[in-house]
Amino acid sequence: MIDLDNTDITGIHTPDPLRYAFKRKGGAHSGGGAVPIPASDTQMRLNQALSFSTPSAGARCLYVHVPFCRVRCTYCNFFQYASSKKMIDEYFEALVIELERKAAQPWTQAAPFHAVYIGGGTPTDLSAEQLEQLGKLIHQYFPLTPDCELTLEGRINRFGADKFESALEGGFNRFSFGIQSFDTKVRRAAKRLDDGDAAMRRIQDLVAYNSAPIVIDLLFGLPHQTLDVWQRDLDGYRESGAHGVDLYQLIDMQGLPMQQMVEVGKLPAPADTPTKATMYEMGVNYMAQHHQRRLSCNHWAKDNRERSIYNSLAKTTAEVLPLGAGAGGNVGGLQMMQMRDMAQYIDSVKAGQYPVAMLMQGTGNKALTNGIRAAFDRGVLAREALNRNAGWDCYSAAMPLFEKWQTNGLVKVSQDYLSLTLAGEFWNVKLAQNLINTVSELDKQRQAA
């Protein structure tokens, strides 16, 4: 039985579900279950997993984390360390050791990787030489598919021609820049380092190389970002010529510098959820009006150059081999988080250990939870794929919930597909999590019966 009176699961019946279906959006990701492995066993278990030369059932990705930024942006929870040349050099040295060691494992060599993502933090704070070396080492040591996507994430600040050309020389073939807003007032309040015109010019310059897809992130809901400013940010995306864009709503978590600044009156409050819903609607309509190709609920491409392979794979059953302090991944059914503390990370790597802070055995049906998450991210869930992953007809079992969501304006349901409405797209993470929980409950009831 599904609790169809629980509005946190079904949403509220309202004439305006986009803005008011739920009280609050959930976190950025909906998760599945996992059981921690005792610290005394982590090295042995990870070593075991990497000793098998079993090709992955699905695709494989490599994720490399670079936890430095020159300045912490007020809204960001990813900040770990302030960039300093000395620290970055020490880190890079340890990263190369970890890279060589993990690349040599039988598991790594057993099948090619489809996508590589260098994320952060701000990987573009690495020097030109380090960027080139990192790209070349990955090509040299890892088996890669011929069309492997290698993304370098970062920002335009101090990312000059030398760094871009070195990164291209190293084999990076996709670049993702956090722009957030082209508006100088919004940027300054968020402690972004360059003004809006400089950000625009730099993206235009990088696009003009015509060497690799350049994609940008825009945030909506930042302090000072009125609806007019947001409209100009959307125009800015097209004016920049970027090959693709992610539109992310601001998640205002506890403890961010922004929150403290709002509390003491130094910043106006960020947008509330109904306003962010309006901004999302503006974004979706804008992209449709300008014939941008939709890749997911939050991501659009101008043309076929942008493929966004890593983002779509990492959300499904792809295995992700993590490298670097604070990186997360999953290999052979094990989920892992690497040490975040820089000194601990470097010591661990130099002592010949895997720098893993937390290792967990995935429980439950990962293909099912990841499949649901990926489907909601794309905006459509197929009966056939859901039932195949579940191993039973859970589409039919969940139908009362789907019908309730349809009554509440969140989805359109047919015999074979559940497609999200605009409101459903805005609430997609919440809906995915609710379905994951519901399916798990229904499965328990089915097995008990």
Ligand X SMILES: C[S@@+](CC[C@H](N)C(=O)[O-])C[C@H]1O[C@@H](n2cnc3c(N)ncnc32)[C@H](O)[C@@H]1O
178 binds ligand SF4 (CB under 6 A): yes
219 binds, among ligand X, ligand SF4, none (CB under 5 to 8 A by kind): ligand X
Residue that the structure tokens 């030109």 belong to: 128
417 binds ligand X (CB under 6 A): no
Residue that the structure tokens 């960001």 belong to: 76
Q: Decide whether 98 or 153 has the Cβ nearer to ligand X.
A: 153
88 binds ligand X (CB under 6 A): no
- Strands annotated E in 284-392: 293-296, 299-301, 319-323, 328-331, 334-338, 356-362, 380-382
DSSP code at position 53: -
Interacting span for ligand X (CB under 6 A) from 58-66, 72-80, 84-92, 368-376 = 72-80
Binder among 37, 46, 59, 76 for ligand SF4 (CB under 6 A) = 76
Q: Minimum CB separation from ligand SF4 for residue 41, in Å?
A: 33
User: What region does 201 belong to: left with phi over 0, alpha with psi -120 to 50, or beta?
Assistant: alpha
**Calpha distance 164→152 (Å, rounded):** 10
92 binds, among ligand X, ligand SF4, none (CB under 5 to 8 A by kind): none
Interacting span for ligand X (CB under 6 A) from 120-128, 264-272, 288-296, 312-320 = 120-128
With the C-alpha atoms ordered 46, 49, 51, 53, is the resulting torsion angle positive or negative?
Answer: negative
79 binds ligand SF4 (CB under 6 A): yes
Bond prior to 326 in cis (omega within 30° of 0): no
Q: Decide whether 280 or 402 has the Cβ nearer to ligand X.
A: 280
Q: Decide whether 258 or 279 has the Cβ nearer to ligand SF4.
A: 258
Q: Which two tokens stand for residue 20?
A: 């008011």
Binder among 32, 120, 135, 171 for ligand X (CB under 6 A) = 120
- Give the list of residues 6+ apart from residue 71 with CB closer than 8 angstroms, or none: 82, 191, 193
- Strands annotated E in 7-74: 34-36, 60-66, 68-69
79 binds, among ligand X, ligand SF4, none (CB under 5 to 8 A by kind): ligand SF4
Residues 165-204 that bind ligand X (CB under 6 A): 178, 180
Written as one string, the DSSP assignment of 121-137 is: S-GGGS-HHHHHHHHHH
On whether the CB atoms of residues 118 and 163 are closer than 8 A, the answer is no
**Calpha distance 61→294 (Å, rounded):** 23
Q: x/- contact string, 83-122, with ligand SF4 (CB under 6 A)?
A: -------------------------------------xxx
Q: x/- contact string, 375-414, with ligand SF4 (CB under 6 A)?
A: ----------------------------------------
Q: Decide whether 77 or 278 has the Cβ nearer to ligand X.
A: 77
Q: Which ranges in 77-195 belong to alpha helices (H)? A: 85-103, 106-109, 128-141, 161-169, 184-189
Q: Decide whether 42 or 122 has the Cβ nearer to ligand X.
A: 122
Q: Minimum CB separation from ligand X for residue 422, in Å?
A: 20
On whether the CB atoms of residues 56 and 111 are closer than 8 A, the answer is yes
124 binds ligand SF4 (CB under 6 A): no
78 binds ligand SF4 (CB under 6 A): yes
251 binds ligand X (CB under 6 A): yes
Residue with the shortest CB distance to ligand X: 178
Q: Minimum CB separation from ligand X for residue 177, in Å?
A: 7
**Calpha distance 3→264 (Å, rounded):** 42
163 binds ligand X (CB under 6 A): no
Sites of contact with ligand SF4 (CB under 6 A): 69, 72-73, 76, 78-79, 120-122, 155, 178
Sites of contact with ligand X (CB under 6 A): 69, 75-78, 120-122, 153-155, 178, 180, 217, 219, 248, 250-251
